[in-house]
Amino acid sequence: MVAVEAQTSPYEVTNGEMKYVTGHHPVQAKDDSRIEIGSTADIWSHSLRPDVVIKAPHSHEALLDLDLQNKCCTEAAILESLGSHPRIIKTARSTTAPQGLALAEAPNGDVANYLTTHGDTIDVSLRLKWCKQAAEGLAYCHSHAVLHCDLRPDNMLLDINLDLSLCDFEGSKNAQYNGGGLPDFGLCHPKDDFADVTEAIEVFGLGPCMYTFMTGLIPHGNSAFTAHYMFDHHEKFTRRINQGDYPDIPTLDGGDIIQQCWTEKIESARDVYSCYVNLERQREDQ
């Protein structure tokens, strides 16, 4: 995505661009156009531009909440610190009084919904591309001393070419900012539940995400990924992972890479990315 400065409405946003709505500019959202409800913010259709969506706090009064203010400012600051990269959404600048994020709507939604909608029709090469791109995005974050802290398939957006980018950095942290986010249950090793997030914890978290990319299911589950299902499934996941019981994936493309994430035999997101680059080359040579 290409970052641009916030302007007065109507917003001049083209496909792939994002604006940060700041100061006293009102959030241009229809009262009846809420698309999605999040934990701290909602996603709305833009009242003037059908190709734009707005991420805004649940209410204007919520902006008085210090924790929410911290999350909003953290997201802006983290995105600014990351700068431009094809696997990361971007913003033009940080602010102390954010009103919301105005973004061009992801044409293909997020990975979790795409998997649910398209199921077995998704080609293996596309699934492997998402694995590689998720690792690439996380490696880029880590190279800039940023921890995403909420790595999961529904926080990964798909553009018109079905290329992946990481989103939702409100819970992220670096040396200056801490949004207080934690991985969802089932997306980190059970021993690390409620622990401070580290790069190693996030590398483990790539494993469940990539397993979901490849199978459409959550580990040790019989359902597609949803945040609520992961929470409900946590006890079963915890019991089996603590016993060293991982899903049987010997025939899964890239299964050995996923296994190395789960067993903590791979040290960095950069190494995960390199493994998928090598796998891609091997498949091309076949």
- CATH, residue 239: 1.10.510.10
128: tokens are: 């492997």
pLDDT of 12-54, one tens digit each?
333 333 333 333 333 444 444 666 656 666 666 655 555 556 6
Mark whether 81 and 134 lie in a shared domain: no
Which of 85, 104, 123 is the last residue in one of the domains?
104
Query: Which of 156 and 223 is assigned the larger pLDDT?
Result: 156
Mark whether 96 and 127 lie in a shared domain: no
Contact 236, 186 (CB under 8 A): no
Q: Global pTM?
A: 0.79
* Alpha carbon distance 21, 11 (integer Å): 10
What is 113-142 written as a DSSP string?
HHHHHHGGGS-HHHHHHHHHHHHHHHHHHH
Say if residue 47 is exposed, middle or buried (CB neighbours under 10 Å; 0-12, 13-18, 19+): middle
Contact 6, 20 (CB under 8 A): yes
Mark whether 129 and 66 lie in a shared domain: no
Query: Which of 208 and 132 is assigned the larger pLDDT?
Result: 132
CATH number at residue 87: 3.30.200
Mark whether 137 and 231 lie in a shared domain: yes
What is 4-19 written as a DSSP string?
E---SSSP---TTEEE
Sequence-ordered alpha helix ranges (H) in 20-92:
66-82
Mark whether 258 and 193 lie in a shared domain: yes
Owning domain of residue 39: 2-104
* Alpha carbon distance 262, 255 (integer Å): 11
- What average pLDDT does range 235-254 have in this prediction? 80
* Alpha carbon distance 68, 79 (integer Å): 17
Mark whether 135 and 258 lie in a shared domain: yes
**pLDDT band at residue 222 using 50, 70 and 90 as cut-offs:** low
Residue with tokens 């991982």: 246
Of 124-128, 164-168, 196-200, 241-245, the one with minimum mean pLDDT is: 241-245
Query: Which of 105 and 187 is assigned the larger pLDDT?
Result: 187
Which of 78, 104, 130 is the last residue in one of the domains?
104
Whether 249 has a pLDDT exceeding 60, the answer reads yes
* Alpha carbon distance 267, 204 (integer Å): 9
At residue 138, the pLDDT reads 98
Mark whether 230 and 155 lie in a shared domain: yes
At position 277, the amino acid (one-letter code) is V
Say if residue 126 is exposed, middle or buried (CB neighbours under 10 Å; 0-12, 13-18, 19+): middle
Which residue pairs from 235-240 have beta carbons closer than 8 angstroms and sit at least 24 positions apart in sequence?
A: 237/185, 237/186, 237/190, 238/185, 238/190, 238/193
- What average pLDDT does range 55-70 have in this prediction? 58
Mark whether 66 and 120 lie in a shared domain: no
Which of 70, 104, 138 is the last residue in one of the domains?
104
Mark whether 90 and 115 lie in a shared domain: no
At residue 20, the pLDDT reads 36
Mark whether 94 and 229 lie in a shared domain: no
204: tokens are: 């483990």
Sign of CA dihedral 61, 66, 68, 69: positive
pLDDT of 78-124, one tens digit each?
888 898 899 987 553 333 334 566 655 677 889 998 998 998 999 99
Mark whether 88 and 124 lie in a shared domain: no
Closest CA to 234 of 266, 192, 180, 198: 192
What distances in angstroms separate CA 163 from CA 12, 38, 127, 180, one per listed residue? Answer: 24, 23, 11, 28
At residue 77, the pLDDT reads 81
Q: Please state the domain count of the chain.
A: 2
3-class secondary structure, 174 = coil
**pLDDT band at residue 244 using 50, 70 and 90 as cut-offs:** confident
Mark whether 181 and 259 lie in a shared domain: yes
